[in-house]
Amino acid sequence: MLLTYVILTYNQKEYIRAALASALAQTYAPLEILVADDGSQDGTWEALQEMAAAYRGPHTLRLHRNERNLGIIRNLEAAFSLASGDLIVKADGDDLSAPTRAARLAEAWEASGRQASIIAHGTTLIDTDGKVIGHRGWPFKRENTLSDHDILWGKPRHYQANSCAYRRSLFTDFPPVQFAGAVDDLLLTLRAIALGDGAAIHHLPDELTLYRMGSGRTNDYSQRRRTVCRTYNMILNAFRQFEVDLAHLEGRMEAARHRDFVRWTREAISFYEAVAGLYGATALKDRLRHFRRLGARGLLSLRLPLYLKMLLTAPR
The structural domains of the chain, with segments of one domain joined by +, span: 3-212, 221-312
Residues in CB range of 87: below 8 A, 6 or more apart: 1, 3, 4, 105, 106, 109, 114, 165, 166, 167, 168
- If you average pLDDT over residues 50-65, what whole number do you get? 96
- If you average pLDDT over residues 58-80, what whole number do you get? 94
For the stretch 199-213, pLDDT in tens is 588 888 889 998 888
Cα–Cα distance for residue pair 177/188, rounded to 1 Å: 11
For the stretch 275-295, pLDDT in tens is 999 888 889 999 899 899 888
- pTM score: 0.88
Fold of 3-212: Spore Coat Polysaccharide Biosynthesis Protein SpsA; Chain A (3.90.550)
User: How far is CA 225 from each of CA 95, 104, 302, rounded to the nearest angstrom?
Assistant: 26, 39, 18
As a whole-number percent, the residues of the chain with pLDDT over 70 amount to 89
Cα-Cα-Cα-Cα dihedral sign, residues 283, 286, 290, 292: positive
